Each structure stands twice: as C-alpha cells, then as structure tokens.
Chain A
C-alpha cells in the first residue's frame, strides 16, 4: 500500500497548496475556539506555520494546552461542495519559534504570504509551528483517511 501512502500524501499536499487560509481550533478557559489564520507548510508536511499577535485569545489558548487543530478545505460555498469539496484536519503540538527556527519559518511563511512582512516583523507577533502528528483527509463526503506525518 505504499501506493496509497503516496496518493494520500499527494492529495494532502495539493490541498495545502491550493489554500492560503485555514481554521485554527484551540481550547482554553473551558471552551473551544476557532480562528481564521493564514498558514504555510514545509514541503515534507512535517510542520505548518502561522502567526498571531500575543494578545489574542488563540495565543492564550494554545499556550494553555500546547496543542491545536487546523482545518484546511477547498469548499466554494456552493451546493456541489457536498460531493466536490475536500477537507483536511491537521493535529499536533504547537510552539512559538525563536532564533534560527524562526528565521527558517519566516522565510517559508513570507514566501507564501508576502503581504504579511510587516506583521511578522512586529515584536508583538509570534510565529508558531504546528508539528503535524496526523492529517485527517475527508473526501467524497464521507471517506476519511489518516496520514501519519513523517518524523
């Protein structure tokens, strides 16, 4: 089934490449919470990046639990979405980057979102890395496949 591995990894990559923004799921103060974030990712799919200012609720939440989920999908807000859309949920631990790791992440992130240059430079902005553990890929309305991220 190495073929299946390749097929699913390829589908995950294509979906990530097709989208710029995803829904970040966090949990804090006894409640789940969702936010839209611009994301980028390492070509090997092992790590995704997003940025937020440190005063936000999502930042407080992810500091509290250390884990997040990110939903990326290609729905078009049309009825056909039911059979055409794919959705991807990535889960794993999250950490704020510093030093050379931040430099590397910022490079990847800005290549994808050049307009965020000023935002990323602000001392109040944190660049975060989601260390992908698993990708859950939903297609054909109900089919769900799980891809373990390569470590």
Chain B
C-alpha cells in the first residue's frame, strides 16, 4: 500500500486518519493559501510499526503497571521515558521501512523538511495538543526523516500528552499518531497570529521574530507583538521586544544565534506586513468558520502559512488542575535562569534561615516566647515548602531534559543509565552518612569503646569514654545529630544507632561504570558545533540532580525544627508525643494479603530481608541492619538509616525521587511507586525486593 499522502490529494474520508494538523494544512492548500509543499503519513503507518513489533502491547504493559489515575506526574514521566526508549531501540519492520524510504525519497529527495506530529483529535475545537507532541525542523534524507518520524510517534506517549489525554478522558489504548512531512520554509521572519485574542474579544494579535518560528513557539526568543482591532485591522499597539537572537537552520536541526546589530533595532515586520499577516489569519477564520491561531513565515516578500488551528482559550498550558506539571516542561534557557536563582539566592537564603532558626533553646523559653518561635517556624516551613514546589521541583526537570537528550543520542539499553552520569562526587546526605560510617568503623576497630558504648546505651551515667566519643561524633555531625532523636535522648539514641551500624560491614560504594567513561561517551556523540550545548546541559543536569538531595536536606532541617517546637508546646500542654506526623497504624487482621506487589524498578539489585515499615521518626530507632525499609516517602530525616538497609520499598513513585537517588547512591535494590505499600506490608514480613523488575514479593506475614 501507499502510505505517504500529499496534502492536495486528501479527501474528507482521510480526515480521521491524518490528524488535525495535516487536515488543516491540506485544507489551506486546497483553499489556495500559500503552504509549503508536504505530505502526511497517516495513522496506518504508525499501526504498521507498533503492531508487528510488539511495541503496542509493551506500551500498554508499561502504562498498566498501576491504575493510570493513581500515577504521579513523576511516574508518568518515567513511563514516558521508558516508552520513548522503546521507540528509539525498535527499528521499523523491514518491509515497512523499505516502502516508506522509497516513498519519502520520491517525494522529498534531499530537500530539508520539517517532521511534525498530527494526532487525530488534535487541533479540533475544544482540544489542543499545542506543544505537547514533538516537531523537528531541518531534517534531510530518508533515513534521518524516518528516525524523526519515530521520535514524533514516541511523543504521542510523552508525559504531557498522557496527562492531557487523561484529562480529556481519551482512550489511551486507541491512541495513534499521523506525521506531517513538509518542506522546510527557511523564513527570514516568522511568527504567530490570533485572528481573535484568546483573552480579549475585540482584538487580534500578531507576534513576530527574526528567523524561524521555533524560537517563538518554545519561548526562547521574545517576539515583537502587535495588537489590532479585530473588525477593522487597525493597529492599536506595538510592543517591541529586546531582539537578541534568532533561531536558524543548523547542519543538524536548528540553533539559536545572536542577531546582527542592524536587525536588533528593526521590528521583524513593517506595519503593512503586520496587516497582511492579520488578513491571512482572518481569511483562515472565514474559511474554517471559527477564530484561528496560525503560524506563518515570510519567504522573500510572500507570507506562507505553516499551520492553522482553532483558538482555544487556556489550552496553551494553563488548562486543568494539574497544569503546573506542564509548566515543568521548561526549556533549557529557562532552566539555566532558574538554576542561577536557586544556587545564588534561594539555597543560601534557606541555609541561613535554618541557621537563624536553630539558635534557640526551646526548653528555656517562656510559654509565650515558645508560641512565637513555633509561629515563626510554621511560617518559615510553609514559605519554603511553597518555594520547594514552585522553584526546586520544576528545576528537577533539568535532569529529565538531559535524560531525554542522552537517550536520543546513545540509545542505551537501560533508559535510566544517564542517572549514573549525574551522580555527584559528594552529596550532602551521603556526606553526613559517611561521617556516621567513619564513627561506626572506629567502633568496629575498638571493641573496648564498643563495649563502653553498649554500657552507655543502658545507663548513660557511668561511661565517660563513651560520652566523650559520642559528643565528638555529635559535634562532627553538627545539626544533623538530632535527626536521630530530638532533645536529651540524642546521645543515647546515637549510641544505639552506631552500635547497630557496627553489626553490618562497611557500606558499599556505588558501582557501575565510572562517571568519566560515561561522560566521554556522551560528549563524543556531539560534534564541535554542539559540544558546548552538551557540556552545558550536562552541567545543568548535575546541578538539578544534586539539588534533589540538598533541597530535601535543608528543608528537612526546618521541618525538624518546626516539629520540635510543636512537640515542646504539646509537652507543656501535657500531651504525650503530639506534633509528630501520625504514626503508622497497624491494621486489623485482614483476609487479603499481598503476595507480589508491583512498582517501578528504581534501583537495580535483589535483596531479601525483614520488612521495617517506617511511619514516624520513632520507627527508625528500632531499625536493624539488613532490614528492608518500607515507607510512604523517604523523607530527608530518614536517610541516615539507608546504610543499614538491605533494600528500599517506597509508596511514592519515581526514578528521581529522593529515595531512589539515595538507593542508587548506595547500590541498594529499590522499588518505588508501590500502591498501599505501608498498609499492605507489615513490619516483620519477609520480603524479596526485585529492583530489576520493580517487584516486591511478600513471603510470610510477620
């Protein structure tokens, strides 16, 4: 069969199988608008790929590991990355590949093209997938085009697209994607136009940049903007931009280049041209019967339409209750700015505030003073928690962006291998644990001191040597000592914990290929042109990864101080141990018990051991070497027990959650995203943690 369908040959019957974008382009072409020449690969081509290769079922298996609606956004991202990796590693079946290559060569030869998504249901009124699926510019040659077609197909399963389809309640299993292949219009001036502003009834908008449109669409180049009267086309306002860069074709893809000085002072469009663009958008509106959002470019003196879709208010990212997730899809440039803000301003301020808050002896305060302190700490925690969600969490996207670039270039067997490349030499949490490990090692070497510590644990009064040792360790740990237990019991608890640490051999060091080897392999995939980008991206991703540890630790300090103030206040009111998070409640004997639970494989390895379900800080104190930590979400105050663990099971899902990062750091088998983990598993159960497949087997109930 023939797959590739030229725009001008489409009929009404093709509408469903070519997707919204292709259909709109073909209508424009048939209505006489100037549109760059192109054709569409309908959904049948997609199905001919994912069916016979088994990809379709592998995708559905990946998405059905747990109920879709209970997946966190991070888990969707992880699933999306795994799926993307499947697309990268699965070649087209030979007959399909041969047929497509032949058709593409015949139609496009060696001309440069754009490869764009065109999902059915996309760009119809009420549903806009704007920006959710991928498009690639300046692709040349059948092999490269086919490779990019696969990437566009894969973007059907991006996290953003999955979320969006879920919100629209579209059937994931029936999803398919058509792909537009269109000759690249290397416009000198490009932009968008809204025949009717999404926010203001009476006006139209035109936006323009120098160079290709990509810079405007992905937000890396600020456009000039004109507001026009919708009924007359009269110019109302021109808002000039700071014109610094343009996106232009590069040897492969596109790149952002600085504008020559003479263009910086000139708006990309003359006033008459603004009106011509506006006229085009109004003509499109008249033909299609509703206000249109069009992309255009000037080739010489003539404006071409690149696409047209209905204006849908609020669908460029702000729709839906989980819209903030979409804002995570920040561009590289945005992330660089965010990093600077976090590293230069936010983290130092967070550290300083924690420092300032800690200089208070709660026990010696009058009641009203204590109340003030508690208030201050509550406020600080609330404020920093907000910063955490607004700034720190979005910055985690740096590691994700890197993961995608890494996988695209290296196509590794394990789609999460990039994490090994991001692991820093030293993290705050692991540095703290290293100090504990040193202390434990001294005890292993010195049985006398060990015995003295054991005596201290029973009765602190009589063992001065132990006390000196503990005080030294405690002062070395600084403010992290009281993570073991707040208040006077600190030293005793520390003794107990260190003794437990001596029960197991010194903790393992992370294994795997060295960072240097991985780094070289990564950078070698980039030519001279792109090398700088690759290095910057790696650096950004490392900062992003490192921050996932640091922000947790610092925020954890503030939370701990809040908890202390709370429990001191509760103590004075005569309540026992209030203020702590509600502890784990042991369920009644159930008729149902788990045999095998499924989560995400977040740390490779296999471990068998006794479960310790941890709900509160008190639960941590009883932790025994070789046990398996089962928790809702590893909080930074818990990570000190990690060197004692044989494995980790976490309810919260994700490959880049704190628990997964720490587990990887210690080479521990780890499964995250196990629904109801802390309710189904009980302390004392014998568990097998399969960190390769993301499975937890419950052998006996304790």
B64 A140 Cβ-Cβ under 8 A: yes
Q: Are A141 and B61 in contact (CB under 8 A)?
A: yes
Chain B residues within an 8 Å CB radius of A84: 60, 64
B279 CB, min distance to chain A CBs, angstroms = 51
B473 in contact (CB, < 8 A): no
Asked if B57 and A147 sit within 8 Å, CB to CB, the answer is: no
In angstroms, how far is the closest chain A Cβ from the Cβ of B651? 14
Give the CA-CA distance A30 to B590 in the complex, in Å.
36
A4 to chain B, nearest CB (A): 5
Task: Say whether A141 contacts B64, CB under 8 Å.
Answer: yes
- Please classify how large the interface on chain B is, using the bins under 10, 10 to 19, 20 to 34, 35 or more: 20 to 34
Asked if residues B66 and A140 are in contact (CB atoms below 8 Å), the reply is yes
**B residues less than 8 Å from A79 (CB atoms):** 54, 56-57
Asked whether, in the complex, the Cβ of B594 is within 8 Å of the Cβ of A145, the reply is yes
A82 interface residue, CB < 8 Å from B?
A: yes
Q: Which residue of A lies closest to B51 (CB)?
A: A79
Residues of B within 8 A of A2 (CB): 588, 590
Cβ of A5 under 8 Å from chain B: yes
* Closest residue on chain A to residue B67 by CB atoms: A140
Let me know if A110 is at the binding interface, CB within 8 A: no
- With a CB–CB cut-off of 8 A, which chain A residues contact B676? 1, 4
Stretch of B187-195, B377-385, B595-603 at the chain-chain interface = B595-603
A5, B587: Cα distance in complex, Å: 12
Is A101 part of the contact surface with B, judged by Cβ < 8 Å?
no
B16 within 8 A of A: no
Bound Cα distance from A1 to B590, whole angstroms: 7
A150 to chain B, nearest CB (A): 7
Q: Which residues of A contact B57 (CB under 8 A)?
A: 79-80, 82-83
Contact mask for chain A residues 124-151; partner B; CB cutoff 8 A; 1 contact, 0 none: 0000000000001000111111111010
- What residues of chain B lie closer than 8 Å to A144, measured between beta carbons? 594-596
Kindly identify which residue among B60, B65, B595, B680 contacts A80, using a CB–CB cutoff of 8 Å: B60
Interchain CB contact under 8 A, B680 and A143: no
Q: Which residues from chain B contact A140 at a C-beta distance below 8 Å? A: 64-66, 598
**Which residues in window 576-600 of B have CB below 8 A to A?**
587-588, 590-598
CA distance A5 to B594 in the complex (A): 11
Q: Roughly how many angstroms separate A4 CA and B589 CA in the complex, as a whole number?
A: 12
Contacts of B56 in A (CB 8 A): 79
Chain A CB within 8 A of B679 CB? yes
Roughly how many angstroms separate A142 CA and B61 CA in the complex, as a whole number?
A: 10
Please pick, from B54, B596, B679, B695, the residue contacting A1 in the complex, using a CB distance under 8 A.
B679
User: Would A83 and B596 be within 8 Å (CB), given that A1-B590, A5-B590, A142-B695 are in contact?
Assistant: no
Q: Is B346 an interface residue (CB 8 A)?
A: no
Contact (Cβ within 8 A) B597 A143: yes
B130 on the A face (CB < 8 A): no
- CA distance in complex: A57, B138 (Å): 70
Contacts of B66 in A (CB 8 A): 140
B590 pairs with A4, CB closer than 8 A:
yes
Residues of B within 8 Å of A141, CB to CB, are 61, 64-65, 598
Is B693 engaged at the interface, CB distance under 8 Å to the other chain? yes
Contact of A143 with B598 at beta-carbon distance under 8 Å, contacts A1-B680, A83-B64 already known: yes
Query: Nearest chain-B residue to A141 (Cβ)?
Result: B61
Q: How far is the CA of A39 from the CA of B680 in the complex (A)?
A: 31
Q: Can you list, as one digit per residue, whether each of B691-702 has a CB less than 8 Å from chain A (1) or not (0)? A: 001010000000
CB within 8 Å of A: which of B269-291?
none
- Check A9 for interface membership: any CB of B closer than 8 A: yes
Q: Say what secondary structure dominates the interface of chain B.
A: mixed
Within 8 A of B (CB), among A40-86: 79-80, 82-84
* Selected contact of B592 from candidates A80, A143, A146, CB within 8 Å: A146
Give the residues from 370 to 426 in chain B that come closer than 8 angstroms, CB to CB, to chain A: none
Q: Does A8 contact B (CB under 8 A)?
A: yes
A142 partner residues in chain B, CB cutoff 8 A: 596, 598, 693, 695
Instruction: Find chain A residues with CB under 8 A from B597 CB.
Output: 143
- Against B, the Cβ 8 Å flags (1 = close, 0 = not) of A79-95 are 11011100000000000
Q: Give Cα A136–Cα B592 distance, bound, in whole angstroms.
A: 10
Mask of B31-66 contacts with A, CB within 8 angstroms, 1/0? 000000000000000000000001011001101111
- Distance in angstroms from A148 CB to nearest chain B CB is 5
Beyond A4-B680, A79-B54, whether A143 also contacts B590 by CB under 8 A is no
Find chain A residues with CB under 8 A from B695 CB: 142
Shortest C-beta distance, B615 to chain A (Å), equals: 15
Contact B591 A9 (CB under 8 A): yes
Q: How far is the CA of A8 from the CA of B593 in the complex (A)?
A: 10
Q: How far is the CA of A80 from the CA of B598 in the complex (A)?
A: 19
Contact of B591 among A80, A143, A150 (CB under 8 A): A150
Question: Which of B60, B65, B173, B591 is the one whose CB lies under 8 Å from A5?
Answer: B591
The contact of A146 among B63, B594, B598, B679, by CB within 8 Å, is B594
Interchain CA distance A84-B587 in the complex, whole Å = 30
Q: Which residues of B contact A148 (CB under 8 A)?
A: 591-593
Please state if B596 and A143 are interface contacts (CB–CB under 8 Å).
Answer: yes
CB distance from B176 to the nearest CB of A (A): 15
Within 8 A of B (CB), among A1-22: 1-2, 4-5, 8-9
Q: Would you call B60 and A83 a contact (CB within 8 A)?
A: yes
Q: Point out the residues of chain B lying under 8 angstroms from A136, CB to CB.
A: 595
CB distance from B547 to the nearest CB of A (A): 34
CA gap between A146 and B595 in the complex, in Å: 6
Bound-state CA distance A102–B680 (Å) is: 39
Contact check, B61 vs A83: say whether CB atoms are below 8 A apart. yes
A84 CA / B57 CA spacing, docked (Å): 10
A5 contacts across to B, CB distance below 8 A: 590-592
Complex Cα spacing A144 to B597, Å: 6
Q: Could you tell me the distance between the alpha carbons of A5 and B591 in the complex, rounded to whole angstroms?
A: 6
Chain B's closest residue to A12 (CB) is B592
Residues of chain B within 8 A of A9, CB atoms compared: 591-592
Closest residue to B65 on the A side, CB-wise? A140
In the complex, the chain B residue whose C-beta lies closest to that of A8 is B592
| A145 contact set on B, CB distance < 8 A | 592-595
B residues 659-687 near A (Cβ < 8 Å) are: 676, 679-680
- State the CA gap A83–B679 with chains docked (Å): 25
- Chain B residues 594 to 645 lying within 8 A of chain A, measured CB to CB, are 594-598
> How far in angstroms is the closest Cβ of chain A from B647?
17
List the A residue with the shortest CB-CB distance to B594: A145
For the complex formed, measure the closest distance between the CB of A29 and the CB atoms of chain B, giving whole angstroms.
30
Nearest chain-A residue to B676 (Cβ)?
A4
Q: Is the CB of B61 within 8 A of A147?
A: no
B-to-A contact residues, CB < 8 Å: 54, 56-57, 60-61, 63-66, 173, 587-588, 590-598, 676, 679-680, 693, 695
With A83-B64, A140-B65, A142-B598 given, name 4 new contacts (CB 8 A): A4-B680, A82-B57, A83-B63, A145-B593
A-B contact pairs, 23 of them (CB 8 A): A1-B592, A1-B676, A2-B588, A4-B592, A4-B679, A4-B680, A5-B590, A9-B591, A80-B57, A80-B173, A82-B61, A83-B57, A83-B60, A83-B64, A84-B60, A140-B64, A140-B65, A140-B66, A141-B61, A145-B595, A147-B591, A147-B592, A148-B592
- Which residues of A does B touch, CB under 8 Å? 1-2, 4-5, 8-9, 79-80, 82-84, 136, 140-148, 150
Task: Report the 7 A-B pairs with minimum CB-CB distance, sorted nearest first.
Answer: A144-B596, A144-B595, A83-B64, A8-B592, A79-B57, A83-B61, A148-B591
